[in-house]
Amino acid sequence: MRLIQAPSEVIKPLQKRLNVLLKQVRVPDYLHSGIPKRSHLSNSEQHMLAAGATVTVDVSDFYPSITRQRVFRLFRNVFQCPGDVADAMADLVCYQGKLATGSPASVLVSFWACRDMFDLIAQRVTTQGGAFTLYVDDVAITGDTIGHGDIQWLDRLLRRFGFSSKVEKAKLFRKTRAKVVTGRAFRHGISRAPNKKHKEMHEARAEIESGRATIKAKRGLVGQLENIGNLDQERGTSLKAEAKKLRSTLPPPRRRRRVIHRPVKTGPEVAT
């Protein structure tokens, strides 16, 4: 379970403004998170179209592992901010000495704070004629020479920069096998949803056909059908049509206001 540190109503607009500014800074082609017109689908597409085996690795506890000091260095050294400004910016996006998980700016701040590390991955993979993409903390590399050795190399690199990888969860997809990258399954360049999503969809259908399904469950199936429809090249049109038909039988959703109590930062941290 990932803890979300939501910003206060005072801080959130400032973080949103920072995110707008960061989106205007040019980023490398391998980044697919936090950028307009790029997504988890554009991320997986790079590997769907590339030849060779694919390795996927997640960076463990990515945001909590990015310290306030690292964020300060980003604004001071990379963005060339005066020291007091860099200090204020670090306070803006960090919580308890670490990059906040709920900040609108955290996706791009995390990338820029660690770009030197990700550039090394890009350099290695590109030199080998492969493809590398990054989606928040999901690293994926594809190429004819990719293998188990790359998982170990990635783990050593991450540890060198103060991070760690979920080596036990890292996956190697052979060239001829089906692959899954950022939620999309594909094989031989044909996209489909992962088997797990299809299983969940079939179970939801069965519940509805039994006559025991609630309105909430039916809305859930609509979302599943649309999601899988976006991923499945062969059945996408029919699944979206099914979702549209089911939605037409449901009452419009009620809008409810929720009051969320967010932690408020009481004062700046003192750098040590």
* Alpha carbons 172 and 16: distance in angstroms, whole number: 37
Does any domain span residue 254?
no
pLDDT of 22 above 60: yes
Does any domain span residue 76?
yes
Q: What is the pLDDT of residue 253?
A: 80
Residue 59 phi/psi, 5° resolution? -80, 125
Going by their DSSP bridges, the two strands 131-135 and 53-58 should be labelled as unpaired
Mean pLDDT of the chain: 90
What are 34-75's pLDDT values in tens digits?
999 999 999 999 999 999 999 999 999 999 999 999 999 999
Location of structure tokens 């919580």: 95
Does any domain span residue 42?
yes
Q: Which of 115-119, 156-160, 209-213, 265-269 is the least confident region? A: 265-269
* Alpha carbons 117 and 124: distance in angstroms, whole number: 11
What are 235-253's pLDDT values in tens digits?
999 999 999 999 999 998 8
| Range(s) of the domain holding residue 21 | 12-190
Q: Give how far the C-alpha of residue 1 lies from the chain's centroid of Cα atoms, to the nearest Å.
A: 15
Query: Are residues 199 and 185 part of one domain?
Result: no
Work out the burial of residue 37: count CB atoms within 10 Å of its CB; fewer than 13 is exposed, 13-18 middle, 19 or more buried: exposed
The candidate with the shortest Cα–Cα distance to 53, out of 232, 175, 212, is 175
Q: What is the pLDDT of residue 257?
A: 59
> DSSP labels for 132-168?
EEEETTEEEEEETT--HHHHHHHHHHHHHTT--B-GG
Query: Are residues 120 and 243 part of one domain?
Result: no
H or E stretch covering 268: none
Q: What is the pLDDT of residue 269?
A: 46
Location of structure tokens 């993409």: 133
Q: Give how far the C-alpha of residue 212 lies from the chain's centroid of Cα atoms, to the nearest Å.
A: 35
What are 132-176's pLDDT values in tens digits?
999 999 999 999 999 999 999 999 999 999 998 878 889 999 999
Q: Are 68 and 86 in contact (CB under 8 A)?
A: no
* Alpha carbons 106 and 19: distance in angstroms, whole number: 8
Query: Are residues 144 and 85 part of one domain?
Result: yes
Total domains present in the chain: 2
Scanning the chain, the segments in alpha helix (DSSP H) are 12-23, 40-48, 68-73, 83-93, 106-113, 115-127, 148-160, 195-209, 215-231, 236-248
For residues 250-265, give the mean pLDDT. 63
Query: Are residues 209 and 86 part of one domain?
Result: no
- CATH number for the domain harbouring residue 18: 3.30.70
Q: Are 227 and 193 in contact (CB under 8 A)?
A: yes
